Amino acid sequence: MQSGTKKFDKWIIEFITDDPGVNPLMGWESSTDTYSELKLEFKTKELALDYAQKNNINFEVIEPKKRKLTKKSYSDNFTK
């Protein structure tokens, strides 16, 4: 299987909840912090950094890993 490369050109700001709780009725993880449900997408890394700095958001940049692509065809499964 070869994974696609769609949506790999976006930068995302995710808010992390420090204190998630457990819902006593259902046992699901829940929180009163609605920022944890929010994901902001940006076209470039610079736009995301500018937004975070202007709004005083503490951030950590996680660079994407370089993917090694191996071109395959269906017939390669049978010819080797």
Task: Dump pLDDT digits (tens) for 31-72.
Answer: 777 887 889 999 999 999 999 999 998 889 988 888 787 777
Q: What is the C-alpha to C-alpha distance for residues 55 and 13, in angstroms, rounded to an integer?
A: 12
Higher-confidence residue of 10 and 19: namely 10
β-strands 11-14, 29-30: how paired? unpaired
Residue spans per domain, the chain = 11-63
Q: What is the C-alpha to C-alpha distance for residues 29 and 79, in angstroms, rounded to an integer?
A: 49
Whether pTM > 0.85 for this model: the answer is no
Q: What is the C-alpha to C-alpha distance for residues 70 and 68, in angstroms, rounded to an integer?
A: 7
Q: What is the mean pLDDT of residues 16-34?
A: 78
Q: What is the C-alpha to C-alpha distance for residues 44 and 41, in angstroms, rounded to an integer?
A: 9
Q: What is the mean pLDDT of residues 7-11?
A: 79
